[in-house]
A and B are shown apart, each in its own frame.
Chain A
């Protein structure tokens, strides 16, 4: 075929499990990766030894049968630390996605529906969006004592405007639809209108967006911990394992590369899940990507 003009895609027919797997390979692969990492996070104490135990005799050992991923400059087992690090990334990813989605959903619904709040709130959102997210998170963390909850809060705040904009745009386009006009004309009260008629229509794009926020939160946490302003060093996280291995990179590259690869695999899993969900839940957006 020499033609570069394209035909439109066929609609996906329904089918059983095997068909689902064939039609949605990204959801299946992404989901499987996430399940695996979730299991690693839950069962970390059974899989790995103590991630904090110092072992000065075995400093900077390369990967071997005894230390699968080698040891760091204090003789700590990089395998144990990496396995435990899965927990921080999981917790941060899920909690940031959940909290940012709920807050963004609430603000977005109100902004899309009530013109009086819309003007001011959207200007504030524009302002927050103008600040690069890592910088805003760093500034927020500088002002408080370090800790996991602070890191989560500092990542949530810059993510909120993205959700607000998305939800608001969906609400605005819905408001012009005949079924909403009919509901308003029929005397439906605002809370019921928002919760029963508008909210369900925002969920598909919201779920897709929250998977991307989950991925970006995992990366941001790792970046913050890498810079030394994230999770405190006594909690192993992929970012701070990499940060501590930095000065020994030339002699012990494994303590940077291995947590880095875990991080990349987790983000890949979340993104694949997001892409797959987008194709299924939000075909209009899928066609544009």
Chain B
């Protein structure tokens, strides 16, 4: 077990190295002069020179790369071009809303999706199954921003139950915090929920066709016990895998959801940085999001060993 965890941990190093190299060269091999593109159309040549010096683009490529990597190891993600603040500081300031949104979405999606998938598999080809599968197919098609605006329209404008937009830190009280997270979490979670429900159903169906399920049933165990203990537990690996895959979906969706609901998180930071062409921030955010994704995958890989003791690499 220990060797497996350590092995997985080391396997993340080359991936992150590739991401770092990729992020570094992305700016340098772009067509045209990156400093001029970042400076924008109405920049003077002095502005362009300033940006070039700030990003270190005037020094030899190898020197740039070594300095960049060295700083990265120290947690230094560079300095924002416009605000002159360290990128790592800007990211830390915006971390809480994004973390809150991601975790609440994860919670909403998993809590809804797994029972939906179980019921669909149990009542396979009956109406309950068709309702769940219909939702799953629709969930894949509805873009996050459409779901977001429909929810705002119905629940905030027409019914007036929830605030339209915005975010309150958890320090301002629990209800104001939760109240503003409900709609964004549901909007962002729709696709994710559809994905998990679909895989849960498929994985359950496969397990339900096994002989030991028939045995468990015929020896008179309660249906719920067969479903939840015998079947669901053995369907866990694909479900956990897809929850992990879905994290990537969530991260992409966060950028859009934060824009729809005006949440001042990392997604807004990304969009604002892109519109101002503040490239150091974009670079830093790519590294942070990629690291988050790699970390989640690592946790998923490790969880396999607990969920299914047969898995040994």
- Residues 18-55 of B, flagged 1 when their CB comes within 8 A of A and 0 if not, give 11011100110011101001000000000000000000
Whether the pair B145, A143 counts as a contact (CB closer than 8 A) is no
A11 at the interface (CB under 8 A from B): no
Whether the pair A227, B22 counts as a contact (CB closer than 8 A) is no
A135-B270, A142-B282 known; A268 vs B141 contact (CB < 8 Å) = yes
Q: Is the interface of B mostly helix, strand, loop or mixed?
A: helix
Tell me the nearest residue of chain B to A220, going by C-beta.
B252
Question: Separation in Å of the A239 CB from the closest CB of chain B?
Answer: 8
Whether the pair B274, A138 counts as a contact (CB closer than 8 A) is yes
B168 at the interface (CB under 8 A from A): no
Q: How far is the CA of A43 from the CA of B76 in the complex (A)?
A: 54
Tell me how many residues of B have a C-beta within 8 Å of chain A.
Answer: 65
Contacts of A271 in B (CB 8 A): 137, 140-141
Question: Separation in Å of the B214 CB from the closest CB of chain A?
Answer: 5
B285 at the interface (CB under 8 A from A): yes
List residues 250-287 of chain A with CB under 8 A from any CB of chain B: 250, 253, 256-257, 260-261, 263-265, 267-268, 271-272, 275, 287
A130 at the interface (CB under 8 A from B): yes
Whether the pair A143, B140 counts as a contact (CB closer than 8 A) is no
A123 at the interface (CB under 8 A from B): yes
Whether the pair A227, B259 counts as a contact (CB closer than 8 A) is yes
List residues 184-231 of chain B with CB under 8 A from any CB of chain A: 198-199, 202, 205-206, 208-209, 213-214, 217, 223, 226-227
Partner of B290, one of A2, A130, A257: A130
Contacts of A4 in B (CB 8 A): 122, 208, 213, 217, 223, 226-227
Contacts of B153 in A (CB 8 A): 249, 253, 257
Whether the pair B15, A257 counts as a contact (CB closer than 8 A) is no
State the 9 A-B residue pairs at the shortest beta-carbon distance, nearest first: A127-B18, A260-B146, A268-B141, A143-B30, A134-B252, A267-B141, A132-B251, A130-B290, A5-B214
* Residues of A in contact with B (beta carbons under 8 Å apart): 2-8, 123-124, 126-128, 130-136, 138-145, 215, 219, 222-223, 226-229, 242, 249-250, 253, 256-257, 260-261, 263-265, 267-268, 271-272, 275, 287-289
* Residues of B in contact with A (beta carbons under 8 Å apart): 14-19, 21-23, 26-27, 30-32, 34, 37, 122, 124, 137-138, 140-146, 149-150, 152-153, 157, 198-199, 202, 205-206, 208-209, 213-214, 217, 223, 226-227, 248, 251-252, 255-256, 259, 270-271, 274-275, 277, 279, 282-283, 285-286, 289-290, 293-294
